[in-house]
Structure 1
Amino acid sequence: MHRLLRKTWLLLGLAASLGTAASCSKDGDGVLLFSVEDDKALGDKVAASTDSTFRAKGQLVERSANPRAYDLLGQIVNRVLNSGQLQYRNEFPWDVKIIKDDQMQNAFATPGGHIYVYSGLIKFLDNESQLAGVLGHEIAHADRRHTSRLLQKEYGINVLLSLLLGENRGQVVQIASSLGQLSFSRDYEREADEYSVIYLNGTNHYPCDGAAGFFIKAEQQGQAAPPEFLSTHPNPGTRIQDIQTKADALNCRQRTASSDTFNQLKAAL
């Protein structure tokens, strides 16, 4: 307990001393004051609240209720995670949950690598490479610690530290409910797109511009309410071009990959 309190005061002092630097940092995202262990602790709390919220709505697909779907989705997720390109592959838990909502074409990740995928996204996509690309994008937000930086900016270091001390439980619920609608900065979206390509290249399996396929289809269908990671600047056309340019530079765009696992996943849902 004394050790935790000492750490808290040290962090609060650091937050005060870095306040000016953080406010002047690139894109306004500030200096990340959270450690990797803090990321994991906060992520565990937020994931528990997220699970509870969707379970209460009857939307959380329990692994015991559909082990087949989880096994199939896990195969795709693990190809991306085991690409050899993640910073925190062994530090974060990287578990995945399915949310039953066929109208929501979205996915998100908490700090510390808890991944949530809506059934509507899986059913919307055409092939496994597209799903791997979107998963790579969301994994990048957690692995590059974008989510923690954004939450620090939105709520402040004092609030986040209080959550780690077990206070402000209502704030945990608020943060959990907002994760699917977080508006990342231009730089963070570009970096997540870039690392989606890098991760898929590292799989030696998927054509690495998979995320572009999702953006192309969503644009063609003219979605009235696109998911946040599609609507956030830069515009989808620019993102498609950037993803394909990165994929061409890595010479990994022309691969062909089977969608058998993905098609079975669709059928299992």
Structure 2
Amino acid sequence: MHHGAYPRSISNLPLLRSTVAPKRPIAHSPKSPPSTCRHYRQIPEEEYRRRLAEARPLLSNRRAKTLETIGTTKQHRTFILLCVAAAVVFYFANSQKVPVTGRRRFNFLSEDWLTIFGVSGDAYEQELRREGVRFAPKYDWRYARVMGVMQRLVPVSGQADKDWKVHVILDDGAANAFVTPDGHVFVFSGIINLCGNIDSLATVLGHEIAHNVATHSAERLSAAIIANLTSGSLFLLLGLLPGLTLAGLWTLTGGRYVQSLIYDLPMNRKQETEADYIGLMMMAEACYDPRHSIGFWERMKVVQSQSRGYEVPEMLSTHPSDGSRIEKLTQWLPEAMEKWQASDCHGGQGAIARQFRDALSHRRFMGVAWYIAVPGDWRLSIP
């Protein structure tokens, strides 16, 4: 999933292998229904011509002239250019440097806004249950293992105030996991089996928590909003009718795919790499052996190649290739090992995540600063 506050998955494998069978068969051939054709009275030629001559246009000449001139007059162009200039100022006012990684990004939305624009974890769970997806009960060993790892990762994430919830989906054929912006972590039993040990599972869960720590969903939604407003204004500069025509041609000729290729996909891959790094440092701070992260991604590489039979080129994917991930993790491993060896293994205070919270608690809306209050308690809910 790309734009908006949608769940982030750890791999680009399909989340579900199959859909629920339809309740009614689709192969039966029903009897032909009775004819509903109506017979209409044919209008004489003279009557038809008279009605055509007296017909009123859908738009009056005055309104049609107004539509034709929108975006073409000096006043309209000045207003549109001012809107574009305001959008540019708004963009730079909300451009921020991501703590830890140093990446520059645009983000003006808080986590509270994501609950309005995004899909809540409760709604996602209900939808999965309607589709017949089975969830592990809380006494299941897989549920207990995920809960145990979460209880060590959450305190060092700096997101202990979030109402985290764990859901284990019983599907051994799906090696995937994803998180919603409101703290619902969905883990497929297939990826628990693939992990094999709690250190590898910490790699997966640390990655998912890192997406929320870095507010990646808010970043994607912010970028989508400003891109749509800017492109709409630029099309309108040509005039309403020519602008709408060009926008339609842009869509029909695959212009959206070009935008995705040069902007959306690279941003998604950067976010995935960022989540890998933050998750690696968090698992090390929580006393999980970071060396197991490389072994996990080596196993994942085999699974994904067997699942597809081919490897999607990285430039066409929302995720970095497994080879690129292994290369990056190997590069970061010495730093993670230092953190692992220096950790007191008592939960810590989440030094990495505190940098994010300090940076993201201050945002600007049209140049006006506003702040987010952060409560201090944390809870890990059992659904």
Structure 1 counterpart of 2:293: 211
1:242 aligns with 2:328: yes
CA contact (8 A) 1:98 1:116 kept: yes
Structure 2 counterpart of 1:220: 302
Q: Distance in 1 between matches of 2:306 and 2:286?
A: 30
Q: Which moved more, 1:31-40 or 1:103-112?
A: 31-40
Q: Distance in 1 between matches of 2:135 and 2:311?
A: 21
Structure 1 residue 118, shift from structure 2 partner: 1.0
Structure 1 residue 72, shift from structure 2 partner: 2.9
Matches within 5 A, 1:15-164: 17-18=86-87, 22=91, 31-40=106-115, 45-61=119-135, 63=137, 66=139, 68-82=141-155, 84=156, 86-90=157-161, 92-154=162-224
Structure 1 residue 207, shift from structure 2 partner: 0.8
Task: Please list the CA deviations of residues 114-143 of structure 1 after superposition, one character each: whole Å capped at 9, or x if unmatched.
Answer: 211111111222222111101111111111
- Helix, strand or coil at the partner of 2:295: helix
Task: Please list the CA deviations of residues 28-78 of structure 1 after superposition, one character each: whole Å capped at 9, or x if unmatched.
Answer: x962222232235556x52122111111122141646x4554333211112
Structure 2 counterpart of 1:188: 271
Structure 2 length normalisation: TM-score? 0.47
Of structures 1 and 2, the one scoring higher in RCO (CA 8 A, sep 6+) is 2
Q: Residues 203 and 242 of structure 1: is their aligned pair in 2 closer, same or farther, counting only changes over 3 Å?
A: same
Q: Distance in 2 between matches of 1:15 and 1:141?
A: 31
Structure 1 length normalisation: TM-score? 0.64
- Helix, strand or coil at the partner of 1:98: strand
- Helix, strand or coil at the partner of 1:79: helix
Greater percentage in helix: 1
Gaps of 5+ in 1: 1-13, 159-181, 256-269
Q: Distance in 1 between matches of 2:168 and 2:338?
A: 29
Structure 1 residue 146, shift from structure 2 partner: 0.8
Q: Distance in 1 between matches of 2:116 and 2:339?
A: 37
Structure 1 counterpart of 2:371: none
CA contact (8 A) 1:209 1:253 kept: no
Give the AA of the match of 2:296. F
Greater percentage in strand: 2
Q: Distance in 2 between matches of 1:15 and 1:132?
A: 45
Give the AA of the match of 1:249. E
For these two proteins, the number of residue pairs brought into alignment is: 212
Q: Distance in 2 between matches of 1:216 and 1:40?
A: 35
- Helix, strand or coil at the partner of 1:223: helix
Q: Distance in 1 between matches of 2:339 and 2:201?
A: 15
Give the AA of the match of 2:200. Q
- Helix, strand or coil at the partner of 2:278: helix
CA contact (8 A) 2:106 2:223 kept: no
RMSD over equivalenced CA pairs, Å: 3.9
Give the AA of the match of 2:174. M
Identical aligned pairs, as a percentage? Answer: 26
Structure 1 residue 253, shift from structure 2 partner: 9.2
Query: Larger Rg: 1 or 2?
Result: 2
